[in-house]
A = this chain, B = another copy of it.
Amino acid sequence: MLISVVLSGGAGTRLWPVSREGYPKPFMKLADGESLLLKTYRRAAAVGASDILTVTNRDYYFMSKDEIALADLDMSAHFLLEPAGRNTAPAVAMAAQMVAELHGPDALMLVLPADHLVQDQAAFAQAVAKARSLALQDKLVTFGIIPTGPETGFGYIETGADVGDGKQVVRFVEKPSLDKAREYVDSGRFVWNSGMFCFKAGVILQELAAHASDVDTATRACWAATCAAGGDRTKMAEIPAEAFAEVPDISIDYAVMERSSNVVVVPGDFGWSDIGSWVAVRDLTAPDGNNNRATGNAVFVNSHNVYAQGDDRLVAAVGVQDLLIIDTPDALLIAHPDRAQEVKQVVSHLKTQGHDAYKLHRTVKRPWGTYTVLEEGPRFKIKRIEVKPGASLSLQMHHHRSEHWIVVSGMARVVNGEQELLVGANESTYIPAGHKHRLENPGVLDLVMIEVQSGEYLGEDDIVRFADIYGRA
């Protein structure tokens, strides 16, 4: 039995403005329209995992469920929800507790970060098959990537003698200097540390106890607190915040892998990328004769080595070279490819300034669908609201604003004060301030609605929730 544990954390600040705090890197869609998370789910299914356990922040629960629904996989899915990020050792330890409870200590865990890309699925499946056979022999298996160049952004693993289908791990080394990286690559003995693993749940728990007793003790207490909190853990377990705060913030590499003598590595060459910056995203699109690349609507005049990514807006580049142009509805990034790592400084700057663009997109995801602010002005705000089939917003009331709702497609069931009515395409209704109301999509198609808000105060915090199927009341 193979359980894929998908670690879906990480802000991906180097991929701003597409990746934002409220919509981080795993949810970033590539040019084919699929998110990295969705691709990870498909990858897990393709190598024969029978269950997927997603470890993620509780804020991303509904968004993650949407992605797994899109993947349309014939397998069970569980969620382990963290109240905050505590690095990979606590995530793996808690996941191992949950897998051991659900499937027993001999169940194999295939740990996959949610924000990596693998382009050669067949080669990846071969590597997983090798890892499984080693993990069944109670090894801790890590996946090493055969280097394509002297990268200084990755950790390296020095490999030793053959061990079954893998190799002995001589040592882990941190991100090296360029000279060191060249030496490693030339030696032929070093691989990149991918952050993917395979082991039995019971084995990693034993190794944690042996090499990181603080993590082990704290996460066992935390798992007990999670179980004590009740709820149906066969679907989703939510880790209590107080207990999780006691858990050390440490990586699984540092807590266990670098300390245990039981670690083997399976080297592989399967078109792996950690999509670490916009340069990696750029490289996924084929260049034209001037080495320019575009996803979206771009015009290049006397320009070279330019990547333009956008949606509807037209991007024109004139007489420029060596640029990344990343266009989103509310923020634009222009960066030199050699400085792509420094994009995270923009995010820090925006956080310091209190600018929302580090956190939210113009389109905001909600458990029931999305809303997009189309325009704001004095005393009015216009939103496009999309509600998924069967979904429902909370029963709510606003003190300071009234709302005009116009359905443009699909069907709405609306509670408006004492009335309940169905509103179809090209019909409208009006919700005065102070009226309790609820919006629901009773149909099987998406509901798309335009909301025009009017009032002296239009902040999102003017909301009183009376009932909510997502537990937000």
Interface 9-mer from A22-30, A82-90, A172-180, A424-432: A424-432
Contact call B299/A346, Cβ cutoff below 8 A: yes
A402 close to B (CB within 8 Å): yes
The 8 Å CB contact of A312, one of B330, B350, B382, is B330
Residue of B with least CB distance to A450 = B452
A316 close to B (CB within 8 Å): yes
A189 close to B (CB within 8 Å): no
Contact A404-B428, Cβ < 8 Å, known A316-B17, A325-B334, A342-B319: yes
Q: Across the interface, which residues of B come within 8 angstroms of A346, CB to CB? A: 299, 301, 316, 318
Interface 9-mer from A39-47, A145-153, A204-212, A372-380: A372-380
Contact call B299/A318, Cβ cutoff below 8 A: no
CA–CA, A349 to B302, complex, Å?
A: 13
CA–CA, A325 to B310, complex, Å?
A: 15
Q: Which chain A residues numbered 291 to 344 have a C-beta less than 8 Å away from chain B? A: 299, 301-302, 306, 310, 312-320, 323, 325, 327, 329-336, 338-340, 342-343
Contact A408-B377, Cβ < 8 Å, known A316-B346, A345-B318, A350-B299: yes
A441 close to B (CB within 8 Å): no
Contact call A404/B402, Cβ cutoff below 8 A: no
Q: Which chain A residues numbered 402 to 459 have a C-beta less than 8 Å away from chain B? A: 402, 404, 406, 408-409, 425-426, 428, 430, 448, 450, 452, 454-455
Q: Across the interface, which residues of B come within 8 angstroms of A333, CB to CB? A: 316, 318
Contact call A382/B382, Cβ cutoff below 8 A: yes
Residue of B with least CB distance to A301 = B345
Contact call A332/B313, Cβ cutoff below 8 A: yes
Q: Across the interface, which residues of B come within 8 angstroms of A377, CB to CB? A: 408, 448
A355 close to B (CB within 8 Å): yes
Contact call A318/B301, Cβ cutoff below 8 A: no
A236 close to B (CB within 8 Å): no
Contact call B302/A339, Cβ cutoff below 8 A: yes
The 8 Å CB contact of A334, one of B317, B339, B355, B408, is B317
Shortest Cβ distance from A430 into chain B, in angstroms?
7
Contact A331-B314, Cβ < 8 Å, known A450-B452, A454-B408: yes
Contact call B312/A336, Cβ cutoff below 8 A: no
A384 close to B (CB within 8 Å): yes
Contact A342-B320, Cβ < 8 Å, known A380-B408, A382-B382, A409-B379: no
Contact call B330/A314, Cβ cutoff below 8 A: yes
Residue of B with least CB distance to A426 = B454
Residue of B with least CB distance to A448 = B377
A357 close to B (CB within 8 Å): yes
Q: Across the interface, which residues of B come within 8 angstroms of A334, CB to CB? A: 306, 315-318, 320, 323, 325, 334
Q: Across the interface, which residues of B come within 8 angstroms of A306, CB to CB? A: 334
CA–CA, A42 to B401, complex, Å?
A: 43
Shortest Cβ distance from A415 into chain B, in angstroms?
20
Contact A342-B302, Cβ < 8 Å, known A379-B408, A406-B404, A408-B454: yes
CA–CA, A332 to B350, complex, Å?
A: 22
CA–CA, A333 to B408, complex, Å?
A: 33
Contact call B404/A299, Cβ cutoff below 8 A: no
Q: Across the interface, which residues of B come within 8 angstroms of A379, CB to CB? A: 408-409, 425
Contact call B301/A315, Cβ cutoff below 8 A: no
Shortest Cβ distance from A406 into chain B, in angstroms?
5
Q: Across the interface, which residues of B come within 8 angstroms of A409, CB to CB? A: 378-380
Contact call B299/A349, Cβ cutoff below 8 A: yes
Known: A317-B335, A325-B334, A374-B382. 5 other contacts (CB 8 A): A299-B346, A313-B332, A314-B350, A318-B339, A406-B454
What are 14 A-to-B residue pairs whose CB atoms are below 8 Å? Answer: A17-B316, A302-B339, A302-B342, A313-B330, A315-B331, A316-B332, A316-B335, A318-B333, A318-B343, A318-B345, A318-B346, A323-B334, A380-B448, A450-B452
Q: Which 7 A-B pairs have the closest CB atoms?
A: A319-B339, A318-B335, A380-B408, A319-B336, A426-B454, A314-B331, A316-B346
Q: Which residues of A contact B (CB under 8 A)?
A: 16-17, 299, 301-302, 306, 310, 312-320, 323, 325, 327, 329-336, 338-340, 342-343, 345-346, 349-350, 355, 357, 374-375, 377-380, 382, 384, 402, 404, 406, 408-409, 425-426, 428, 430, 448, 450, 452, 454-455
